Amino acid sequence: MSLEGKQAINRCKFLVGLTTMAIAAMFRCLVAGAAPPMQIADVKTTPPPPTVSPGVTVDELDLLIYLPLVSRDGPLARGPSKLGLHTLKPGPAPEFVQAVHDAGAHVALVKALDNFGYLRTVKEISPETITVARCGPGKSAPQWAHINLDADPRDEAELILAKHMPHWVFEQDVVDYWEILNEQAPPTIAEHVWLAEFFIAAMDIVEAHEHNYKLAIFSYSTGVPQWHHWEAIVETGVFARAKAGGHALALHEYDWPVANQRWGEPTEDLPPYEDRGVLAGRYRYLYRDFLIPRDEVIPLVITECGLDPVVGGPNLEQPWRERYVEEMIWYDTLLREDDYVVGATMFTVGAVNNWTFYDYGELLWPGNPYGPHNFFDYIVSLKDE
């Protein structure tokens, strides 16, 4: 997470709101109770990527409106907790993973930035825990966070991976997914298409390596990209390619001052949906409108999440740590409704420098000074779900 990388939500006018809601209602009536759900012929066929010119904006393209053909009957939260840990330094992470394991549960996901050697300990304690790692400022020069959108995407992928992969060798057997970018937010559809082509090339490169690395692709920041950007991205075939290669999607999701602050609001030129959010829960637009109907679902690892005032929203008198566990429980219940979500790593423990504001390490344990709730008791309480 970078403060300058946080993007406010660009909200367009409701261009097709009422019409789309009416059509969507008709489709819901048609598919309600259907068993199995309706399928569109040839949805598995990946069409060629759209031809776009540099600088093209969403408003200048005549794009389709996809309607999700997915029927769901009531709340479907099930299974163990999907909350996990994001670390800048190992901090309390190994101890917490050990304590949860000893109690008969497991931490769903752990992401390490730079200091990822300790993930070997995590895997030894809890083989069920999925791990993600990324080389950041501690292992790389600052320019690693930036890519040249004017370059050929394959050439740029080769350049970036040549810097990253030498640092992966020692942990290649204990890291499930590697991130190579962080919080990209290009403004145009053409640039998002470029980024998809970059990741297609990157997947080719890592699969050809002797260790056959798996990537967590995109790593978009909160509120990015827009719905019509996803539409163009999907058409490149990047998700079909990721599914074939066993890769995952990485996204970041925050809100403020509570996790559901923007839940159920409309976004861009779409009608409001009661089952998704503009920030937290935004991933459902991609999966329900595109990936599920196209049979291109890949695992989702939310590699940063939590409460972040940088995204905007009113402040509350209550200190954020006093409500943090309850807010993350709400978010976890949402994640547990979607089988394709592997987990979400809460930013952050083991914080250093300017990131100590976000450190919630005390909330991991019972008896913390912020109230009766804690993550250990919550995660263990779901071990038999």
Contact yes or no for 254/304 (Cβ under 8 A): yes
For every one of its 385 residues, what pLDDT tens digit does the chain have, with 9 covering 90 and above?
543 343 333 333 333 333 344 444 443 333 333 333 323 233 333 344 444 445 544 445 444 444 444 444 455 899 999 999 999 999 999 999 999 999 999 999 999 999 999 999 999 999 999 999 999 877 654 455 578 999 999 999 999 999 999 999 999 999 999 999 999 888 899 999 999 999 999 999 999 999 999 999 999 999 999 999 999 999 999 999 999 999 999 999 999 999 999 999 999 889 999 999 999 999 999 999 999 999 999 999 999 999 999 999 999 999 999 999 999 999 999 999 999 999 999 999 999 999 999 999 999 999 999 999 999 999 999 999 9
pTM of model > 0.85: no
Give the separation between CA 213 and CA 244, rounded to whole angstroms.
Answer: 14
Q: Is residue 7 part of a domain?
A: no
Q: Is 153 left (phi over 0), alpha (psi -120 to 50) or beta?
A: alpha
Give the separation between CA 369 and CA 264, rounded to whole angstroms.
Answer: 33
Looking at the DSSP bridge assignments, the partners of residue 254 are: 306
Q: Is residue 9 part of a domain?
A: no
Q: Is residue 123 part of a domain?
A: yes
Total tally of structural domains belonging to the chain = 1
Report the CATH number that the domain containing residue 257 is assigned in CATH. 3.20.20
Q: Find the domain containing 133 and state its range.
A: 17-40+54-381
